[in-house]
Amino acid sequence: MSKKNDFYLMNQPKPENAVGFCHYKKHNGFVSEKMLKKHQCLGKNCPYLQKYENHEFWIDRARIKAEKKARKSEEYGRLALAA
């Protein structure tokens, strides 16, 4: 195993703290919220990321997205009435 892979594996979170699992063959392993943001997995729409949907991080993220969508549709409704 290369030193780069050793370093990557050394910094992996414990399974109970992981928000997902990376299946990329060069550095597969558990992914924490911090690693997810640092590696920009969501921004890249990484196909190797397996999300643990029942983790609090994903539940909060879905709730925040739904709230934003509701606010936008509410604002759109007010703009349509004003016009």
Domain locations in the chain? 3-82
Task: Give the model's pLDDT for residue 79.
Answer: 67
Predicted model pTM: 0.71
Identity of the amino acid at 19: V
Task: Give the model's pLDDT for residue 11.
Answer: 73
- Over the stretch 19-53, which tens digit does the pLDDT of each residue have? 999 999 988 899 999 999 988 999 999 999 999 99
pLDDT band at 75 (very low <50, low <70, confident <90, very high): confident
pLDDT tops 70 at residue 80: no
